[in-house]
Amino acid sequence: MEYSTWQPYYEQIVADLHLDVAADTQAALEAAKLAPRAQLASIGRLSALIFDRRVLVCGDGPALRQEVTEHPFSGTRIAADGATSTLMTAGIRPEIIVTDLDGRVEDQLQANGQGSLLVVHAHGDNLPALRRYLPKVAGPLLLTTQTQPSEEVHNFGGFTDGDRAVFLADHFGAATITLVGFDFTTPSSSSGKTPSERKLRKLTWAAVLIGMLQLDNLAFIGEGPPQSWAR
């Protein structure tokens, strides 16, 4: 998705969640400065992993490990943030990791060091994580933002890790996109705390955004699409 198409959705999300656009912009600028120059990958490298290929987008739902074990997959796996840890524990290294560095980042860096393309998202709330982890990236790296893109920081659409992964697969022309480990009603939490209203709103936006794409090549393993997608 081009930024001109994405921008109206971003503006709606900003209004709903009271995001700081200036902070989002600053995070993108700082990410570009922090990223190791030698690790920045080309768009062509990302496209080659997705174009005309079967793509499995892995969310961080509780049934992910069982579902990926029971449904062997041949194609490109994209892990949304915390799903990386589940896949690595199961002996599966995703080809692409879409993350805002909110999960077990050590697992993501390990997979990246073994060749996984790390697509790191910069936004106003994760500046400390960007400063801590970006200098440690030793494998292929691409940067994204949810606001105005630049030559080094891209915007393919999407807001949460899961829906950004779907937008990525769609943008680069995946033949099929299959979602596994997605739960649009219950946020994953490593702390055991009750999810905040903000996290629940983010999940709602993830469902809205993926549904908005109206993809004919989209399928599910495990939990199916939200009822709101019924047409």
Q: Given this model, what pLDDT does residue 227 score? A: 65
Does residue 21 form part of some domain? yes
Does residue 111 form part of some domain? yes
pLDDT band with cut points at 50, 70 and 90 for residue 37:
very high
Residue 19's nearest CA partner among 181, 205, 189 is: 205
Question: What is the rounded average pLDDT for all residues in the chain?
Answer: 92
Tokens of 179: 């979602």
Does residue 231 form part of some domain? no
Compute CA 12 distance to the chain's CA centroid, rounded to the nearest angstrom: 20
Does residue 16 form part of some domain? yes
The domain tally of the chain equals 1
Does residue 84 form part of some domain? yes
Does residue 229 form part of some domain? no
Are 138 and 17 spatial neighbours (Cβ–Cβ below 8 Å)? no
Does residue 31 form part of some domain? yes
Give this prediction's pTM: 0.93
| CATH value at residue 130 | 3.90.1480
**Containing structural domain, residue 161:** 3-224
pLDDT band with cut points at 50, 70 and 90 for residue 160:
very high
Does residue 32 form part of some domain? yes
- What does the pLDDT look like over 170-209, one tens digit per residue? 999 999 999 999 988 766 655 455 557 888 888 899 999 9
